[in-house]
Structure 1
Amino acid sequence: MEEEEKKSLNFIEQIIEDDLANGLDMSKLRFRFPPEPNGYLHIGHTKAICINFGLGQKYNAPVNLRFDDTNPAKEEQEFVDSIKADIDWLGFKYDQELYTSDYFEQLYFWAVEMIKQGKAYVDEQPSEDITAQRKNPFEEGINSPFRDRPIEESLELFEKMKNGEFEEGAMSLRAKIDMASPNMNMRDPVMYRILKKPHHRTSEKWKIYPMYDWAHGESDYIEQISHSLCSLEFENHRPLYEWYLDQVYNNESVAPKQREFARMNVSYMVTSKRKLQRLVAEGVTTGWDDPRMPTISGLRRKGYTPASIKNFIERVGVAKRENLIDIQLLEFSVREDLNKVATRVMAVVNPVKLIIENYPEDKEEWLETENNPEDENAGTRQVPFSREIYIEREDFQEEADKKFFRLKLGGEVRLKAGYIIKAERVEKDDKGQITTIYATYDEDSKSGSGTEASLRKVKGTLHWVSAKHALPIEIRTYERLFTTEQPDAVKEVDFMEFINHQSLRVSHGFAEPSLKDATLDDHFQFQRIGYYIKDRDSSDDQLVFNRTVTLKDGYKP
């Protein structure tokens, strides 16, 4: 049994198990999720969220939410709030809400100590010169002319940088490591740059801000994070992460261990924050939470559920090498969950009126139908029925072959939870468009009435909405935002060239009156059409529903 359990561990869990076996006290386990508050979280972040918080749950260990707020030029409180809301919505609880800015004083103090030890220096070169001097992995870099400047001089300049006495770009603080290293990250990386911009938490206090590589590992150390898990793009940064830790580590503390996993790329999506920002800025989408965006808030607004996203991440697994995940796997996971939880309702998105001529004009009745056949505890509800109803225009043909099992002239179908009807004739406008279908019904054929007629079998069953009770709704049908699987795969081609300009279609239809009481968290299956959710744009005068996914599933698990 132990051998089977060991085989089921992913490689990160195996690392942790090995560390515990080699003496790490389980009480020292601590994880973190460290987002930058410069945009909304997207589907790629859900993997890191599920990994870190999942490990916290597995080992009963705390998980910190730490905002890496080291770039005030791009950070906003809006992004902080959205990140917290997304994590809460996914159902995860963090131990502490922390910020890298909480540690600015300590980071500055450590940087000063490194200067005193001859391990950092102030460089007055522009960033372009620094980059050029680094050369490439196959050629040794060129030392900065300021690399060996006196320690006291660097200390004085660094304090003046902190006090705002120099302009942005005038100088930076660099670590003194190895300009000949084949790892470009080790070639005297910049630790601090001058940024004279107000910070959303520290206001005007700081004029210099730490670079990610310097701040990240040291923040992990301050918080005593045992395992610092990040995406594969930071694998080459690990030696620098460890070098920085060596400068402050003492033997009585936990040394955080950085390990990398493959980031998650999903077909027909882009997850670069810069590119997502461009979609918003150029009006391609209506905002960060547009249902076409791969952001968590966008997916939520579209109708995805926390359970479906978690199941998707579990199916994807924790890999060491990147690959492209088929979006149909994500949609499969959404359908699978919604099939269990979504209330079945009747709505007509492309309506045509049908009049049952032999049904009394002044009569109406309430028919019983199930809320969700997949959930035995979901119960039933009553839907109104009357002489005039709406059905889908695609559900009727004047003439059709034997494979058409819906309504045609002279043919019969059953109305969901109701009667069997027969189409008799149609009425058209001057363009030949059908405006009204006239039908008759079998009075004894009502579903569940127990009569012989009610047991009569017909091949088609249609959903419908009583015209007298119909609730007008706006339907937003979302398709994929891009026309190709990897819109940003070719660097020479702007990803915006692959925008699907028909990614949103707006139509108007009718729904049963029960949807009037729908909330933004209720999920519905419009029977025989797809899964939908009420949109926040809804008002008392206009209810809006977004399509989450279609009923049909092209994915083969």
Structure 2
Amino acid sequence: MNNKKKKYKNNFISQIINNDFDEDQNLSLHTRFPPEPNGYLHIGHAKSICLNFELAKLYNGKCNLRFDDTNPLKENIKYINAIQEDIKWLGYKWNNNVHYSSDYFPKLYKYAKELIKKGLAYVDQLTKEQIREYRGSLKKPGKNSPYRDRTIQDNIKLFQKMKKGEFSEGEVCLRAKIDMQSSFMVMRDPVIYRIIFSEHHQTKNKWCIYPMYDFTHCLSDSIEGITHSLCTLEFQDNKSLYNWILKNTSVKKYPKQYEFSRLNLEFCVLSKRKLSILIKKKFVNGWNDPRIPTLSGLKRKGYTPASIKNFCENIGITKQNNLIEFSMLEYCIRKDLNKIAIRTMAVLEPIKIYLYNLDDNYEEKFIVPNHPSIPELGTHEIIFTKIIYIDRVDFQEKYNKKYKRLKLGGEVRLRYAYVIKAEKIEKDKYNNIVKIICFCDLNTLGKKTKNNKNPAVIHWISVNNTFPAEFRLYNHLFNIKNPEREKNFLSYINPKSLIIKNGFIEKTVIKIKNIFFQFERIGYFCIDEIDSIKDKLVFNRTVGLRELWNSKK
């Protein structure tokens, strides 16, 4: 690397790296993204992914993808595959092959034995409840296990018996011997190995003892030659254990751990445990439900890799925990979709308009742009006929001075077409309006009305140009800004988080090779490629048209 300092959004971590390069001109930056394969990635993981991969790119370094797979009870190969797909979707490529902590199980076992031989680890026979009790609390110091002073020879034999499966689950465990009086709870003789009789997705049934995350993570970093181990603030206290394990084993490389604030997003929960609860209790339809902030859900909702990466860059990297406005994420996707979304018309709640002064077989065609300012996106054809659909919300029977759309006796302009005037309505036996009878002024194409007015513009679709569609209107899943901190977070579920409408899109749209659309006056939508069928398309609303992030206006 040259002497010119580089910065990723001028955050404190890039400043640390710059200083490290000043001290060691031969330094080669090596980061990693180490997910546990026990769920899908969410927007919080995206912050870490972008940071690690972008820093590696910026400093001409490397970034590993390593699955910290030390608990076969919660892990699944489907999560491994989904995580890889999400990282690729974001546009990142990891260094060489995928790494697994389980690749290092033989080495980790040797390091554990090394601690035992140094008198720094022992096999304990306390139960989980007893270990918790002996550990004490933030105000009360812990006390030593009665098994803490076993001889090294006894501990070696017992650990080997653990490896051979001669104990039952929970009967014994291996603990580091550090300090039961430590002010850091994590340093009070933490468990570093436990017994689990369950098939592992990588090692199958080769092992029945599994290292704990804190023991595994630092050693895996060292084995892979990671220079900068970046993690969120909840692991700040764990740094003491991270460094203790490295110091007391015969590792050759010493990674440095740095912590940054995790992402907290309005109206969302980002805990995998809570997301799992939402899925199990069927409040949402799986890990890719557009109402939850998993990358799969955001992708299905219509978010793009560019919008997520821009969001992560905008929020920055700090040590301060704060709640990010959801409108900031929406700003990023609007900005991206504004450049790529095809403009068309759609009617979500159709109501018929009869233009009584047109012939039954009247038909006129207009060529309209797919984007108002990007000619390269092309054009498409719309059809104008005697009978058209408009959205029910665009008509009001009773006079209201503030209502600027179609009303009895009032005029509106049909987008790309003529001015019409509502003169009469027809209702069914339930008093629902089923037909609006209007006059169409054929002298107003591209012109003002006779009284020189510019009436409001509404969207429409000819009955001869319709294709059935389902529109899924997604709203916040929770009614409060910070459900993450609520113990009974499920009681704040928004019952209107999904509203489904059945209407029409322009038939010509189905020939356009694009999945992103701006339905004029309604919002940005994308085709749901999972649930759409040949005879009916499903559209997910990505975001409305209104800009809410005031600080970016």
TM-score, normalising length from structure 1? 0.94
Aligned pairs for 1:70-219 (under 5 A) are 70-96=70-96, 97-219=98-220
Q: Which residue is 2:318 aligned to? A: 319
Q: State the shift of 1:78 in Å.
A: 0.8
Q: State the shift of 1:8 in Å.
A: 5.9
Cα separation, 2, equivalents of 1:199 and 1:301:
31
Q: State the shift of 1:238 in Å.
A: 0.4
Change in CA separation of 1:110 and 1:7 when aligned onto 2, cut-off 3 Å: closer
Within the candidate set 466, 469, 472, 1:470 is matched to 466
Deviations 1:6-61 (A, max 9, x none): 796200001100111111524x2111000000001111111111111111121121
Q: State the shift of 1:254 in Å.
A: 3.8
Task: Judge conservation of contact 1:412–1:458 (CA < 8 Å) in 2.
Answer: no
Q: Which residue is 1:14 aligned to? A: 15
Task: Judge conservation of contact 1:474–1:507 (CA < 8 Å) in 2.
Answer: yes
Q: Which residue is 2:413 aligned to? A: 414
Aligned pairs for 1:242-257 (under 5 A) are 242-249=243-250, 253-257=252-256
Which 10-residue stretch deviates more, 454-463 or 130-139? 454-463
Q: State the shift of 1:511 in Å.
A: 0.7
Q: Which residue is 1:534 aligned to? A: 527
Cα separation, 2, equivalents of 1:314 and 1:541:
41
- Give, as a single letter, the amino acid of the residue that structure 2 aligns with 1:155: I
Cα separation, 2, equivalents of 1:122 and 1:7:
45
Cα separation, 1, equivalents of 2:450 and 2:165:
85
Q: Number of residues paired by the alignment?
A: 547
Q: Which residue is 1:276 aligned to? A: 275
| Structure 1 unpaired stretches of 5+ | none
- Give, as a single letter, the amino acid of the residue that structure 1 aligns with 2:485: A
Q: State the shift of 1:136 in Å.
A: 2.2
Task: Judge conservation of contact 1:175–1:191 (CA < 8 Å) in 2.
Answer: yes
1:484 aligns with 2:463: no
Q: Which residue is 2:489 aligned to? A: 495
* Structure 2 counterpart SS, 1:488: helix
Cα separation, 2, equivalents of 1:374 and 1:123:
70
Task: Judge conservation of contact 1:445–1:455 (CA < 8 Å) in 2.
Answer: no
- Give, as a single letter, the amino acid of the residue that structure 2 aligns with 1:107: L
Task: Judge conservation of contact 2:467–2:536 (CA < 8 Å) in 1.
Answer: no
Which 10-residue stretch deviates more, 129-138 or 112-121? 129-138
- Give, as a single letter, the amino acid of the residue that structure 2 aligns with 1:446: L
Change in CA separation of 1:7 and 1:49 when aligned onto 2, cut-off 3 Å: closer
Deviations 1:68-104 (A, max 9, x none): 1110000001111111111111111111311111111
Deviations 1:428-449 (A, max 9, x none): 21232211111222324334xx
- Give, as a single letter, the amino acid of the residue that structure 1 aligns with 2:84: K
Cα separation, 2, equivalents of 1:403 and 1:29:
62
Cα separation, 1, equivalents of 2:362 and 2:271:
58
- Give, as a single letter, the amino acid of the residue that structure 2 aligns with 1:540: K
Task: Judge conservation of contact 2:362–2:385 (CA < 8 Å) in 1.
Answer: yes
Q: State the shift of 1:4 in Å.
A: 11
- Give, as a single letter, the amino acid of the residue that structure 2 aligns with 1:471: F
Cα separation, 2, equivalents of 1:528 and 1:337:
18
Cα separation, 2, equivalents of 1:183 and 1:380:
65
Q: Which residue is 1:516 aligned to? A: 510
Task: Judge conservation of contact 2:521–2:545 (CA < 8 Å) in 1.
Answer: yes
Give the % identical residues.
48
Q: Which residue is 1:349 aligned to? A: 348
Q: Which residue is 2:539 aligned to? A: 545
Which 10-residue stretch deviates more, 360-369 or 347-356? 360-369
Q: Which residue is 2:439 aligned to? A: 440
TM-score, normalising length from structure 2? 0.95
Q: State the shift of 1:190 in Å.
A: 0.8
* Structure 2 counterpart SS, 1:216: helix
Task: Judge conservation of contact 1:531–1:551 (CA < 8 Å) in 2.
Answer: yes
Cα separation, 1, equivalents of 2:11 and 2:119:
42
- Give, as a single letter, the amino acid of the residue that structure 2 aligns with 1:432: N
Q: Which residue is 1:23 aligned to? A: 24
* Structure 1 counterpart SS, 2:329: helix
Task: Judge conservation of contact 1:41–1:296 (CA < 8 Å) in 2.
Answer: yes
Cα separation, 2, equivalents of 1:110 and 1:517:
61
Q: State the shift of 1:413 in Å.
A: 2.0
Deviations 1:176-210 (A, max 9, x none): 11222111111111110000011111111110101
Task: Judge conservation of contact 2:9–2:313 (CA < 8 Å) in 1.
Answer: no
Cα separation, 2, equivalents of 1:295 and 1:231:
18
Q: State the shift of 1:321 in Å.
A: 1.5
Q: State the shift of 1:399 in Å.
A: 4.1
Task: Judge conservation of contact 1:46–1:313 (CA < 8 Å) in 2.
Answer: yes
Q: Which residue is 2:301 aligned to? A: 302
- Give, as a single letter, the amino acid of the residue that structure 2 aligns with 1:284: F
Cα separation, 2, equivalents of 1:522 and 1:218:
45
Q: State the shift of 1:105 in Å.
A: 0.8
Which 10-residue stretch deviates more, 320-329 or 240-249? 240-249
